[in-house]
Amino acid sequence: MTGTIRIGTRGSKLALWQAHYVADKLRKAGISTEIVTIETQGDKILDVSIAKIGSKGVFTEEIEEQLRVGAIDIAVHSAKDMQSELPEGFELIAFTEREKVNDVLVSERNSLSLDDQGICIGTSSTRRVAMLKHWYPHIRTVAVRGNLQTRIAKMKDGACDALLLAYAGMYRMGYGNMIVEELSIDRFVPAVGQGSVAVECAMDLSPEKKKAIRNAVNHSTTEIRLKCERAFLRQLQGGCSIPVFGLSDIINDGIQLVGGIISLDGGELIRKQMNTPLQEAENLGKELAIQVLNAGGDKILKDIKNNL
């Protein structure tokens, strides 16, 4: 018997949706659950960019402390919010089936387009800001942080004309009608892990519980893709405040990874693509990262770290 699985989560509506999504999968497997809400540093500090707070564990540190002391069994996060290397003693044991990965343009104005002159886009992502500067240099950006509802309220209050967000969050919160454009992944390659929910635990959680959770929650195809992308991110030493992008896809019996880095001003974009057999997925991530670094990504990374 696994007993009741206590699930730790942030308190935003989207985070709670993710926690209940995982809880439902566990309950369908006959496992009882309890959801425990935990406030993180990233939830408390809303007037400073994530990059300024520090990229490591801004949305996870307090939750990991609860895992460490055994107050919760697992933590549920957006996979894209997870740092490339977890602190010692923690592991990711499951990834849910991936939602559509695209970034989307969100506005009250249905006719709004990124080609429009004089518009202002709200986003807290360095990757999205840099990509807007690269592909649409005429667009002005403004930092908009907070949960999804807060950001939409800020937009409606006039902070910006539109927001740049992930499709998954908008769809899961029932805001699909506010999406005015799905951005092409050819230009706007998403953040590593975008669209999936990750389950984290302390390494000393019982093997019985780990196995039961994996069996109920993990989507094997998504796991292969995310392990590939996370290996890429880890090799680049990229946190969630670094404008790194990466997306893998399983094609026939192989895996393809597109990944790169972009300078903060959008002026320099390095993007590489590789394919390997499926069993080489994690090595593919490392190899592609080395290609990106050797093509000038190391200099961009150094410049970014000096400026953040």
What's the CATH code of the domain at 300? 3.30.160.40
- The band of 1, judged by pLDDT with boundaries at 50, 70 and 90, is low
pLDDT (mean) for 179-186: 96
Instruction: Tell me, yes or no, whether 87 and 200 share the same domain.
Output: yes
Residues 84 and 205 in one domain: yes
Instruction: Give the model's confidence band at 42: pLDDT under 50 very low, under 70 low, under 90 confident, else very high.
Output: low
Q: Is residue 188 part of a domain?
A: no
Residue 10, in any domain of the structure: yes
Q: Are residues 92 and 108 in the same domain?
A: no
pLDDT of residue 49: 47
CA separation, residue 305 to residues 50, 125, 143, 264 (Å): 13, 15, 19, 10
Residue 81 is among the residues annotated as catalytic for this protein: yes
Q: Which tens digit of pLDDT belongs to each residue from 73-129?
A: 999 999 998 888 999 999 999 999 999 999 999 999 999 999 999 999 999 899 999
Please indicate, yes or no, if residue 46 is contained in any of the structural domains. Answer: yes
Query: How many CB atoms lie under 10 A from the CB of residue 73?
Result: 25
Amino acid 66: pLDDT: 93
Statement: residue 45 has pLDDT above 70: no
Q: DSSP strand E in the chain: where?
A: 5-9, 33-37, 74-78, 90-95, 103-106, 120-122, 140-142, 162-166, 179-182, 197-202, 244-251, 254-262, 269-277
Q: List Cα–Cα distances, 269 to 19, 134, 237, 294, 301, in angstroms.
A: 36, 8, 17, 13, 12
Report the pLDDT averaged over residues 199-211. 96
**Domain assignment present for 225:** no
Same domain, residue pair 52 and 201: yes
Q: Is residue 45 part of a domain?
A: yes
Do 61 and 202 share a domain, yes or no? Answer: yes
Mean pLDDT across the stretch 205-224?
Answer: 97
Burial of 251 (0-12, 13-18, 19+ CB in 10 A): exposed
The answer to the question of residue 260 being in a domain is yes
How many whole angstroms separate alpha carbon 286 and alpha carbon 292?
Answer: 10
302/255 same-domain check: yes
* 41, pLDDT greater than 80: no
pLDDT digits (tens, 9 = 90+) for 235-283: 998 666 789 999 999 999 899 999 999 999 999 999 999 999 999 999 9
Q: Percentage of residues in the chain with pLDDT exceeding 90?
A: 83
229 or 53: which leads in pLDDT = 229
Mean predicted lDDT score pLDDT of the chain:
92
Question: Which band of pLDDT confidence, cut at 50, 70 and 90, is reported for residue 52?
Answer: very low
Query: For the chain, what is the domain count?
Result: 3
Residues 271 and 252 in one domain: yes
Question: Which DSSP symbol is given to 223?
Answer: H
Confidence of residue 48 (pLDDT cuts 50, 70, 90): very low
Q: Is residue 223 in a domain?
A: no
Q: What is the pLDDT of residue 241?
A: 74
Same domain, 92 and 201: yes
Residue 166 falls within a domain, yes or no?
A: yes
Phi and psi torsions of 121, nearest 5°: -110, 130
Q: Do 24 and 138 fall into the same domain?
A: no
Residue 97's nearest CA partner among 222, 215, 214 is 222
Tell me how far apart the alpha carbons of residues 66 and 235 are, in angstroms, rounded to a whole number: 28
| 116 three-class SS | coil
Residue 47 belongs to what domain range? 5-96+196-218
83 and 107 fall within a common domain: no
* 175 plus 29 within the same structural domain: no
CATH no. for residue 160?
A: 3.40.190.10
Confidence category of residue 55, pLDDT binned at 50, 70, 90: very low
Q: From 194, 183, 168, select the one nearest 105 (Cα to Cα).
A: 183
Q: Check residue 50 and give its pLDDT.
A: 45
Q: What is the pLDDT of residue 83?
A: 86
Map tokens 């490339």 to a residue: 84
- Do 132 and 258 sit in the same domain of this protein? no
Which one is catalytic: 81, 249, 298, 303?
81
